[in-house]
Amino acid sequence: MLDARLRVTQAATEQEQAKLKIKDLETRISKDEPRAKKAADQNKSLLSALDTLRKDSTKLRERLSKLGWEEGKDLEMKKRKSTLQDNIRTLTEVSHS
């Protein structure tokens, strides 16, 4: 009988501890929930802005492509220009010698 009373008391204590833990967790949730919602809203706006930037980039690439632009072509042209300038310098030096 004493053992049963002890188990009942222990169960009641555990129940009270669980209730306190639940109350603590609910308090933390109510405190953190508005911050989480705000962060989610901010992320939505950032994702929307990122999506807009991607669409703008795609539109610009399409417009440039219609004008004959190819990705990497400008770098190729810069290298070619540099090579030609080097050739001009060399030829100019040779002609002055």
User: Per-residue pLDDT tens for 20-74?
Assistant: 999 999 999 999 999 999 999 889 989 999 999 999 999 998 998 888 888 888 8
| Number of domains into which the chain is organized | 1
Res 73: pLDDT: 82
Let me know if residue 59 belongs to a domain: no
User: Using CA atoms, how far apart are residues 75 and 78, in angstroms rounded to an integer?
Assistant: 5
Let me know if residue 76 belongs to a domain: yes
Q: Three-state SS for 69? A: coil
Res 3: pLDDT: 81
pLDDT band at 85 (very low <50, low <70, confident <90, very high): very high
Let me know if residue 17 belongs to a domain: no
Let me know if residue 84 belongs to a domain: yes
Cβ neighbours for 61, distance < 8 A, ≥ 6 positions apart: 71
Let me know if residue 89 belongs to a domain: yes
User: Using CA atoms, how far apart are residues 92 and 61, in angstroms rounded to an integer?
Assistant: 40
- The amino acid occupying position 58 is T
User: Using CA atoms, how far apart are residues 34 and 36, in angstroms rounded to an integer?
Assistant: 5
Average pLDDT, the chain: 89
Domain containing 84 equals 70-97
Q: What is the pTM of this model?
A: 0.47
Res 51: pLDDT: 94
Res 69: pLDDT: 81
Both tokens of residue 4?
């049963």
The answer, yes or no, to whether residue 2 has pLDDT greater than 80, is no
- Cα 12 to the center of its chain, rounded Å: 49
The CA radius of gyration of the chain, in Å to the nearest whole number, is 36
Let me know if residue 86 belongs to a domain: yes
